[in-house]
Amino acid sequence: MWADETRPRNQGANLTSYELNEEGIKNTIIADNTGGILMQRGEVDICIVGTDRTLANGDVCNKVGTYLKALAAHDNKIPFYVALPSSTIDWNIKDHKNIPIEERNSDELSHVEGLDEKGDIKKIQIYPKKSKAMNLAFDVTPAKYVTGLITEKGVCEASEKGLKKLFK
């Protein structure tokens, strides 16, 4: 099991890896952009991501970088599934261009927090002060790149037809 670090908040390195360990599932943390080369090398059998919002047409809005993983999976003929609770289905927004994409504080990119040698939490800047950062939190993966949606009611195709079969 490969677990992306999920920069800049490192949820994959902290939360995903922790949960996998708690379930006894061996995992290796990788840098966010490593998934593509692992897919090229044949070291990925299936790709499963989460979602923060799923449109009725099957488009998914998730942590930025999800779209690039879907493209890499598509290019390497690897099934790409999205796991979601039905509470994240947005039946009202019809066009993914109408999904508000959060831009978070650039400090999440320019600084990291960690423990120093005394065990105190320190926040340090990791790139030049003159450099600017853009911290978009989400991106949209079109349904055409999604093999299927995994829900609490079963698996369906990433489409309105597929979702309506499960959620009447």
pLDDT, one tens digit per residue, over 130-168 is: 999 999 999 999 999 999 999 999 999 999 999 999 998
Give the chain's domain count: 2
**Enzyme catalytic residues:** 52
Q: Are residues 132 and 142 in the same domain?
A: no
**Residue 8: which CATH number?**
3.40.50.10470
pLDDT, one tens digit per residue, over 9-67 is: 888 888 999 999 999 999 999 998 999 999 999 999 999 999 999 999 999 999 999 99
What pLDDT score does 85 carry? 96
pLDDT, one tens digit per residue, over 70-96 is: 999 999 999 999 999 999 999 999 999
Q: Are residues 129 and 77 in the same domain?
A: no
Q: Are residues 11 and 32 in the same domain?
A: yes
Domain range for 119 is 103-136
Q: Are 64 and 134 in contact, with CB atoms under 8 Å apart?
A: no
Q: Are residues 83 and 125 in the same domain?
A: no
pTM score > 0.95 for this model? no
Q: Are residues 52 and 108 in the same domain?
A: no
Q: Are residues 64 and 118 in the same domain?
A: no
